[in-house]
Amino acid sequence: MPSSMMPPGPTTEAVDDRDDLVFADEADPASSSPQSAAPPPGIPGCPGASWRILVVDDDADVHSTTIFALKGVEMQGRSLEFLHAYSSEEAYAILAREPDIAVVLLDVVMERPDAGLQLVRRIREELGRIEVRIILRTGQPGYAPELDAIRNYDINDYRTKSELTRTKLYTAVAAAVRSYEQLRALDASRAGLEHILGAGAQLMALHGVADAARGILRQLAALLGQAEAGALCVRERGDGRPDAIRAIAAAGEHASLAGSVLAGPRQAALAGAVRRTLDERRRIEDDGWLTLHLPGKAGRDFAACIPLTRPVGDLECRLLDVFASVAAVGLENVELVTHLNQAAFRDQLTGLPNRTHLVELIDAALAGPGRNAATLAIVDLDHFAETNDALGHHFGDMLLVAVGRRLEERLKDCPAAKLEVARIGGDIFCVLGDAAAVQPATIAALFREPFRIDGQDVQVSATLGLVRLSEHDGSGADALKDADIALKRAKAQQRAGFFYFSRSMGVEIRERVRMMHALRSGFQRGELFLAFQPQVDLASGRAFGAEALLRWRTEDGRMIGPDRFIPIAEYSGLIVDIGEWVLRQALAELVRLRAGGHQDFTMSVNVSQVQFRHPHFVDMLRRALDDTGAPAEYVELEITESMAMEEPALLVEKLAQVKRTGVSIAIDDFGTGFSSLSHLQRLQVDRLKIDRTFVTEITGSARGSSIAEMVIQLGRNLGLSVIAEGVEDERQAHILRTLGCPLAQGFLFARPLTPEALLEWLDNQALTEAA
């Protein structure tokens, strides 16, 4: 036998007791399955003593486990013969030269993600093998075949390998073998066969179970050459109630039964025929009714029941069995597609459209005639997380369902154009529709009445972000982003408020994003640099230190101010990396200055709130001190007053860790916030820095120096050093000296300098003092 017909690798005995076999350990299905008689002689395509099964998979274990699962099995009175291929090309060659292959067990993903589906196409189109049955198997559900592939290429079945137990594999192969046998036996009745295949293709093209059910009734009537009539039914099992037979679809004289439960004497005969077929799971022809059993997954079987005007012959019975198999697969796949569509486009909790579906609805609204009158609103529930944490996720889910129901029911009662309500995630809903209905006041009014959840009244408010589609130029996804921008603006102002998106907001956001990317690139290209502003003793005029200031010069020479790019660096998180770079550069400069003879010199470095709160900040500080060799006692970190006032307990501990490194702490912009004096005492800071605003005011009015004087006195009382920033003229310096401020920095003494200029400035000052 050719090597391609023998499975390589481990024998079936070697995998007999493995836990991770594709096929679960079940009773041998063949041992309890009735064996039919051998096929009648003369049936085309069945000359041998066995059914030929081609296993196509690039995994040798799959070949072995398949043989193991089906060893010793007989189907229709005949044994199974296995052929093996490990790629789509090898399988194609075998099918081209080997006749009478009944079933192909085909892996979807082999040498290419679509290798299996491409092989199906070649089998059907190039080889013209329409009779061979194909069962797709995959270990990667993400590569499920597309609906049009199943429809166009007559795929018999599709299963994931993880769900194929021995019984299910046997069932699938047995059904495929029977289908193959019947197809070959009915070769002489090509018109009937073509009708069935065409019916299957048409069924797969239908959308929804009800449409597919009506299509089955229509095709069944055409196959038998009689008028369309009857019903396709399913059994509904109730909790503690008797089972009911419901007609999914109905036709002809029974059309009025569609969607209803079969009850009462007028439907007794039809309901009885359906029950008997579902109970016995077979085709039944009796008492003027023909009923086909259409098996489905998870015990959800269907039955197609039509009135017969004449008995059916043997050939028609075989056609009907094939049709039932095709219809069952078609109905099952339509149910699957319906379920996938539901999962893809509907929120599973509330049943409302989800984000994906909402974007499609917005796109349709943007392209439709009602665009100029339409508004999109994002509705964000306030403090929902607290409700969820306090009362539990189940309670929170019930609240979300209630909110969605109220939005949908109350707003759709408005006498306006069509309106859609969606849930796009978490506690966020969306409303899309005519501006007359999608009004902030209208939506807010829906939340004034409490929600009754599990016997409790829950009061909820919501914040809204809105966008008028008439003012929007982009896609549905862009409109949703714009509404989200407006929502964030509304949250920044107040809860339970609202904000409409404007083009200026969009420009602002896009500019921020553009600058964020430019900053990231500029940092990587070395466009950021440090400048150093000397700090002096007001009494002597001698420099005792300098503040390291971050600057950004772009490739084209433009200078971008720190007030523009530092907030963006903080927002994006890039400030953590930039801040470490600044610290290391400043410490390295301190070491160079000391090597140049300026030993008694302090380097002051600003620390961002985002950077300071990073869990590894103190470790980073220690590494920077160790790597640069900078003396910690000559290093000062500046934090803002607002940062110092947030989360006092955490800050006290963090500052204590910093102080243990030997580094000193200054509070920048002091006087601009609302500091607690008792809290200030606990922070162990070393210096207060008077904000430049108060320095500017000390010459402006009689009361202008009051805040600066208060900070100076506070520092003296607490034993803290005080330095004033932004000193620009001699009058300001004189007043500060008079008030008792010992230290200062500003343009009066020096502008921010490059490292080279700073060293030269210090050297010149030293020479002046020496002279």
pLDDT at 593: 95
pLDDT at 38: 32
Q: Is 213 exposed, middle or buried (0-12, 13-18, 19+ CB in 10 A)?
A: buried
3-class DSSP state for residue 219? helix
Is residue 119 domain-shared with residue 235, that is, in the same domain?
A: no
Is residue 178 domain-shared with residue 202, that is, in the same domain?
A: no
Rounded-to-integer distance, Cα 70 and Cα 170, Å: 7
Please answer whether residues 568 and 520 qualify as being in contact, where contact means their C-beta atoms are separated by less than 8 angstroms: no
- How many structural domains comprise the chain? 4
**In the Cβ-directed half-sphere of 266, how many Cα atoms lie within 13 Å?**
5
Q: What CATH code is carried by the domain that includes residue 126?
A: 3.40.50.2300
pLDDT at 41: 29
pLDDT at 424: 92
Is residue 216 domain-shared with residue 116, that is, in the same domain?
A: no
> Per the domain annotation, does 349 fall within a domain?
no
pLDDT at 195: 53
3-class DSSP state for residue 501? coil
Is residue 135 domain-shared with residue 280, that is, in the same domain?
A: no
Is residue 603 domain-shared with residue 725, that is, in the same domain?
A: yes
Is residue 234 domain-shared with residue 100, that is, in the same domain?
A: no
Is residue 674 domain-shared with residue 540, that is, in the same domain?
A: yes
End-of-domain residue from the set 126, 151, 185 = 185
State how far the alpha carbon of 444 is from the alpha carbons of 128, 372, 448, 500, 702, in Å: 65, 23, 7, 15, 50
> Per the domain annotation, does 511 fall within a domain?
no
Rounded-to-integer distance, Cα 763 and Cα 756, Å: 11
State how far the alpha carbon of 471 is from the alpha carbons of 5, 357, 503, 508, 513, in Å: 67, 22, 8, 16, 21
Please give the DSSP secondary-structure letter assigned to residue 613.
T
> Per the domain annotation, does 517 fall within a domain?
no
Token reading at 478: 């862009």
> Per the domain annotation, does 515 fall within a domain?
no
Rounded-to-integer distance, Cα 689 and Cα 676, Å: 16
> Per the domain annotation, does 490 fall within a domain?
yes
> Per the domain annotation, does 376 fall within a domain?
yes
The tens digit of pLDDT for each residue in 9-52 reads 433 333 333 333 344 444 443 433 333 333 332 333 333 478 99
pLDDT at 198: 56
Please answer whether residues 751 and 727 qualify as being in contact, where contact means their C-beta atoms are separated by less than 8 angstroms: no
628, 704, 618: which is closest to 662 by C-alpha?
Answer: 618
Is residue 681 domain-shared with residue 627, that is, in the same domain?
A: yes
Please give the DSSP secondary-structure letter assigned to residue 346.
B
pLDDT at 147: 60
Q: Which residues pair with 307 in a beta bridge?
A: 289
Per-residue H/E/C for 152-189: HHCCCEEEEHHHCCHHHHHHHHHHHHHHHHHHHHCHHH
Please answer whether residues 689 and 718 qualify as being in contact, where contact means their C-beta atoms are separated by less than 8 angstroms: no
Give me the torsion for CA of 693, 698, 699, 704, rounded to 10°: 100
How many residues does the structure list for the chain? Answer: 771
End-of-domain residue from the set 140, 160, 185 = 185
Q: What CATH code is carried by the domain that includes residue 288?
A: 3.30.450.40
State how far the alpha carbon of 710 is from the alpha carbons of 706, 707, 721, 736, in Å: 6, 5, 14, 12
Please give the DSSP secondary-structure letter assigned to residue 40.
P
The list of the chain residues with pLDDT below 50 reads 1-48, 188, 190-193, 674
Token reading at 418: 């069509």
End-of-domain residue from the set 342, 375, 410 = 342
Token reading at 368: 């439709």
Report CA torsion sign: 368, 369, 370, 371.
positive
State how far the alpha carbon of 15 is from the alpha carbons of 11, 22, 60, 68, in Å: 7, 11, 12, 8
Q: What CATH code is carried by the domain that includes residue 553?
A: 3.20.20.450
Instruction: Return the ∠ at Cα 156 (arms to 152 and 161), rounded to 5°.
Output: 115
Is residue 663 domain-shared with residue 689, that is, in the same domain?
A: yes
Which one-letter amino acid corresponds to residue 770?
A
Please answer whether residues 162 and 22 qualify as being in contact, where contact means their C-beta atoms are separated by less than 8 angstroms: yes
> Per the domain annotation, does 169 fall within a domain?
yes
> Against a cut of 0.85, is the pTM above it?
no
Is residue 119 domain-shared with residue 199, that is, in the same domain?
A: no
Question: Token pair 């609302």 is at which residue?
Answer: 674
Under 8 Å CB-to-CB from 568, ≥6 apart: which residues?
512, 515, 516, 519, 574
Q: What CATH code is carried by the domain that includes residue 477?
A: 3.30.70.270
Radius of gyration of the chain (CA): 40
Is residue 304 domain-shared with residue 371, that is, in the same domain?
A: no
Rounded-to-integer distance, Cα 77 and Cα 35, Å: 6
Run of H or E residues at 135: strand 133-138
Report CA torsion sign: 17, 18, 22, 26.
positive
Domain that holds residue 604: 523-770
pLDDT at 750: 94
> Per the domain annotation, does 749 fall within a domain?
yes
Is residue 178 domain-shared with residue 193, that is, in the same domain?
A: no
